[in-house]
Structure 1
Amino acid sequence: MVSLITTIHLVLYLLTILPIFPNNWFFETLSGVNLYIMEGEVWRLITPTFMHSGFSHMLFNSFSLILFGPALERMLGSGRFLFIYLFSGFAANVATLIFEPLTYTHVGSSGAIFGLFGYYIAIIIFRKSMMSQQNTQIILVLCAVSLIMTFLQPNINVIAHLFGLLGGFLVGAIPYFNKKDLSDSIQTTASWASSQRRNVTLQSPVKVLIWAVIIILAILGFWK
């Protein structure tokens, strides 16, 4: 799913810059415009999640997805991962429709990516055994820094970030509110996640430095 979503990002970006359709048809048709949504173009509650305003915007959001998505997809399976991603993006776009003016226009997958953070936080709170302490610390720090940057940088859809995060968290937390047990697939993945702790603790300083640089670049993607 991560590879598929990233490919969609790239293809849609290319379609917006290539002179195939007149007047930037793809961007104008698929971006989020609250007024058009209210007039019945409800697909704009999903499609903005896959659209981006420029190459750097597309690159860094896709990079963030590649950095944080594969582990969660492996933990949950492709179907559940896709549901979380789309639901978080949908929640972000619905909230944008409710709280922003009708003239507001938006694109980007940051809301959906924040939803992945939200689901990670639900795992940290309700099922700590699924993640190592090192990974837990990384996720919490990145989430905190990304939220701070959300409020400090201009031209950011703050509503989308917050409600994407909330959407992902709720999807991860609701089963525990209902006192339901984890499914067999999640239990199996929890064992796999625990088995990876040794790999994390044995990382060399060079690898740690490389990952630090990658994480910083990923955070920059949320500023777009």
Structure 2
Amino acid sequence: MFVRTESFSQFIRLYPIVSFIVGIHIVIFGVNLVPFLPEIWIYEHLAGVNLFIQEGEWWRLITPIFVHIGFAHFLFNTFSLILFAPPLERYLGKLKFLALYFLSGIIANVATFILKPLTYSHVGASGAIFGLFGFYLSMVAFQNHILSKESKQVILPIVVIGFLMTFFQSGINVTAHIVGLASGFVFGWLATKNN
């Protein structure tokens, strides 16, 4: 389920939404590498800065989902998306997957705006990715038969380790991780009730 064996063209054809999101990650990260643009340009215009959100720059509740600072941050979130998102895009369908991903990320960013001080700023897809993890947890809790034993043995430790690392690494938006995870879990529970 989590092993990617598709060719590049097969991946794009089978998982167009995941491919589109990954493409946006790459383009935005690539803009940071353009020599004549200051590296901070993307951050200044797209980061979730609570003060600017309060002043009406509402797009900053969405754009941080695509912005990463540093190669390690970009690589980890993009790799997580490539590894864990395709099974959910296939299971949920394009529109429901898109809703799960973006609503989890946006809700995590709204919670960050509400709970963090006005001086707080953040970037990264972690809230949305933790939304996917939350959805997987709801599948384990409410639709146990859908995931194979092997898939559960992969996803559960990843979620637990990812969640625990939230509290031991500096510069992590703890609020976004917790709220993203909870949002995905609730969406999964709602999906179960509607089936």
If the length of structure 1 is used for normalisation, what is the TM-score?
Answer: 0.76
Q: Once the two structures are aligned, what percentage of the paired residues are identical?
A: 52
CA distance in 1: counterparts of 2:178 and 2:67, whole angstroms = 19
Q: Which has the larger radius of gyration?
A: 1
Structure 1 residue 53: Cα displacement:
0.6
Q: Normalized per residue, which structure has more helix? A: 1
Structure 1 residue 25: Cα displacement:
3.1
Aligned to 1:78: 94
For the aligned residues, what is the CA RMSD?
1.4
* Paired AA for residue 132 in structure 1: S
Q: 2:138 aligns with which of 103, 122, 145?
A: 122
Equivalent positions of 1:64-213 (< 5 A) are 64-176=80-192, 179-180=193-194, 182=195
C-alpha change, 1:62 and 1:175, in structure 2 (3 Å) is closer
State whether residues 18 and 81 of structure 2, in contact with CA within 8 Å, keep that contact through their aligned partners in structure 1. Answer: yes
| Cα-to-partner distance string for 1:25-48 (whole Å, 9 max, x where unaligned) | 332111110000000000000100
| Cα-to-partner distance string for 1:150-206 (whole Å, 9 max, x where unaligned) | 111111111110000011111111244xx43x2xxxxxxxxxxxxxxxxxxxxxxxx
CA distance in 1: counterparts of 2:116 and 2:154, whole angstroms = 32
Structure 1 residue 23: Cα displacement:
7.2
* Paired AA for residue 126 in structure 1: F
If the length of structure 2 is used for normalisation, what is the TM-score?
Answer: 0.87
State whether residues 32 and 39 of structure 2, in contact with CA within 8 Å, keep that contact through their aligned partners in structure 1. Answer: no
Aligned to 1:12: 28
Aligned to 2:71: 55
Which runs of 5 or more residues in structure 1 are unaligned? 183-224
State whether residues 131 and 182 of structure 2, in contact with CA within 8 Å, keep that contact through their aligned partners in structure 1. Answer: yes
Structure 1 residue 7: Cα displacement:
0.7
CA distance in 1: counterparts of 2:122 and 2:110, whole angstroms = 12
Aligned to 2:4: none
Structure 1 residue 112: Cα displacement:
0.6
